Amino acid sequence: MLLFGDLGSVLAMAGVGVMFTTPVVVLPRLLAPKRPNPVKNAPFECGQVPVGAGKMHFMMQYYAYLLMFIVFDVLSMFLYAWAAAYKPLGLGVSSDWMVTLFMALLFVPMGFALVLAGRRELW
């Protein structure tokens, strides 16, 4: 592990992930019963036979607020991480311009969400 440094640690964790995931994916395919019939393939809703059409229009009145939450969540997470580990990028160059670019890129979907929030005819 020490031979490869950080890359060796990442590769070791990837190997452990593959090692633990492979049996979980492969064993059910090998051991699961494979005798389909119409009753097993029928759709159920909480154990009941579904009634009516399967497709309907869902009201998305809080969609814009969901978008704003996601944007603010990502923005605050990365801003906190940047502020906690603030240091120059190298040769005295500040990382402020990178954070400014990052915030500018995140304010594009925020503006889109605000435009959607103002369009009441969508809801």
Q: Where are the domains of the chain?
A: 6-122
Q: Tell me yes or no: is domain 6-122 CATH 1.25.40.
A: no
Strands (E), the chain: none
110: left (phi over 0), alpha (psi -120 to 50) or beta: alpha
**Residue-wise pLDDT tens for the chain (123 aa)?**
456 677 888 899 999 999 999 999 999 999 988 888 887 887 777 777 777 776 767 666 777 778 788 888 888 888 888 777 776 666 666 777 777 888 888 888 878 877 877 765 654
CA distance 118 to 61: 11
The predicted structure's pLDDT at residue 58: 66
Q: Which residues pair with 93 in a beta bridge?
A: 90
CA distance 85 to 97: 15
Sign of the CA dihedral running 33, 39, 45, 47: negative
- pTM, two decimal places: 0.41
The predicted structure's pLDDT at residue 1: 45
